[in-house]
A and B are shown apart, each in its own frame.
Chain A
C-alpha cells in the first residue's frame, strides 16, 4: 500500500510532469518551455508526489495520472507538428 503510493507519486507524477511540459512544447517555443521546466517541473513533480500520499483512492489516482499522461502525449502520438519550429 505504502509502496504503491510512493510508486504512484514518483513514477506516475514524473510521467505527468514530463508529458505536461512536452504538451506545452507543442503549443509554445520549445527551448523556452524546457528552460521553464527547470523550475516548474521539479516543483510540480514534488506536489504530484504529495498528492499520492494525501489521496484516499490510490488506484483512482493512478488512473488520473495515466490518463493525463496519455492526454498530454496525444500530439506526440498523432505526430502533430509543433506550432513553433520544426
Chain B
C-alpha cells in the first residue's frame, strides 16, 4: 500500500472514529444488554415468562375492554411480545360516527403517534395477570436499555428537523461507524494475517492498546460490520425509501411499504351493518396457530370490529428452527369466514422475506437461542473495548512534547469526558438495576431519573480527578461492587435468590443475576490485576 493511501485511511479512520466514539459506546453497551431484554423485563417484574405455560385469552381481553368502551367499528392492533406472554394493544376510535365524534382531519397514521384527544388507547397487556398497564407504567429496564441503544431518549431534545433527533443521530453514528470499519480494515490490511493473534500484554501501554484495538477489531469485524449495516437500515431507512418512493412509485410511500410487505393492505370500509352472529377471536387465532405449527403468531390486526365488513389479519414469523427466513399471514373476512389472502410462514418464502429476515435476525440475534445471544453479547462488549482502546490511542498519539500545550489540554479533556461517560455506564446500569428493586414505584420517569442523574453525577466525579488510571480503578471497583449487588437486591427485596429461581426453573430471572455476578467477577479480577501489575502512566506532565 502506498504511503499516501495509508495516511488517508489513517486520518479518515481516526476522525470518523473519535467523533462517534462516545455515542457508539453507548449504542454498543446498551445494545449488548438489549439481547437480554425479555430476561431483564422478567427480572424486574420478578415474574418469569419461561417457567409457565401461557394461555393467550383474547376473548377475555376484548370482554374486559368492552366494559369501558363501545368497541363497535374500532380497529385493533395486537403486537405480541417475543415470548408471547403479553401484547401491546393499539385501539383506534370507532369509525361509527354515532359512537365516536367525527374529527375534522384524518388521524395520523404510522408508529409513534399516539394519544390525542379521541378515545383511542395504547397499552401493554399481560395474559397472566390480565391487567392493562399504560406504556409509561409498563416501561422497564429492558425497554429503557433497548431504546437507549438507538438513542430514543434524545428524541426529546427540541430540535425540529422533520425526523426524531435521537434516531437521526443514531443513524449518522452507525453510518460513520460503517465508514470507520471499512477504513480501519483497509488501514490494517497489510498486517491482517501477520498480526491476527498478536497480543503483547507485557509491553508498554501504547502497544497493549494498539494490539487490543487492531486484533479485537479484526476478529470482531464481521460482527460489527453486520451491526453497522443492519443498524442503519433499522433506524434511518427513510434515507433509501423516500427517494425510491418518489422516483419509482410517484411518491406513493404506502405502496412501497406494501410491496416490501411491511404492511398488508386491509381495505374494507365500515358498512354500518352489524356482523351477523358472534365473533370468537380465540378460535380464529388458535385455528391458524395449529396450521402454522411452531411458528408463533406475532401480530393481529382487526378492522371494523363487529361490522359486517370486519376483517382480521393474523401475522406470523417462522420458528427459527424450522426456517431462518419467512413471514406468514392470513387475511380473513369474518362475516363469510373467507380467507382473502394467505401465506405460509415456512413454505412460501421469497427473496424479500430472506433479505428482511436476515436483517432482523442478524441484528436481534434471535435465531439461535440463548447461547447465540451470549456470544453476541460478548462480541458487543468486545466492540466496547475496541472503542475505549481507540480513544486512549488517539490521546497518547497526540500527547507529544511537539504538540502545542493548549491542544494537548483539549485532547486530554475530550478523552477525559469520553472515558468518564463510557466507563461509568456499567456501574450506573448496575446501580439502576438495584434501585428498581429498592424503590416502590418504578415507571418511565423513575428509571430516567435514576439512570441519567447517577450517570451525570458519577461522570462529573470521575472527570474531576483528571486521572485516567484512577478513573479506571474507581469504575472497576464500583462495577465489581454494584454488579454483585444486583443478585443481592433481587434476593433481599423480592426473595428471588438465585437458588430459588434455579429450583423453580425461572431461567430468565436466574440468568440476569448470573450475568451480573459474572460481570462483577470479571471487574473484580481486572481490578486486582490492575492494582497488582499495572505500570503507571501519565498524560501531560
Contacts and interface: CB of A to CB of B under 8 A. Distances in A.
B232 A42 contact: yes
B351 A21 contact: no
**A interface secondary structure, majority:** helix
Interface in B231-248: 232-233, 237, 239-241, 243-244, 247-248
A1 B243 CA distance: 29
A42 B175 contact: yes
A37 B351 CA distance: 13
**B interface secondary structure, majority:** helix
B175 A46 contact: yes
Contact of A18 (B229, B240, B355): B240
A54 B259 CA distance: 38
Interface string A44-86: 0111011001100000000000000000010010000010000
Contact of B244 (A21, A39, A45, A50): A21
B91 interface: no
Interface size class of B (residues with CB under 8 A): 20 to 34
B8 A54 contact: yes
Interface in A1-54: 14, 18, 21-22, 25, 30-32, 34-39, 41-43, 45-47, 49-50, 53-54
B247 A38 contact: no
Query: Which has the most chain B C-beta neighbours within 10 Å: A31, A45, A54?
Result: A31
B356 interface: yes
Contacts of B241: 34
Query: Which has the most chain A C-beta neighbours within 10 Å: B182, B247, B256, B259?
Result: B247
B243 A22 contact: yes
A22 B351 CA distance: 18
A42 B175 CA distance: 8
B244 A22 contact: yes
A42 B233 contact: yes
B339 interface: no
B244 A25 contact: yes
A36 B182 CA distance: 20
Given A30-B244, A37-B244, 6 more contacts: A31-B260, A32-B351, A38-B237, A39-B229, A46-B182, A50-B182
Interface of B: 5, 8, 12, 175, 178-179, 182-183, 229, 232-233, 237, 239-241, 243-244, 247-249, 256, 259-260, 351-352, 355-356, 359
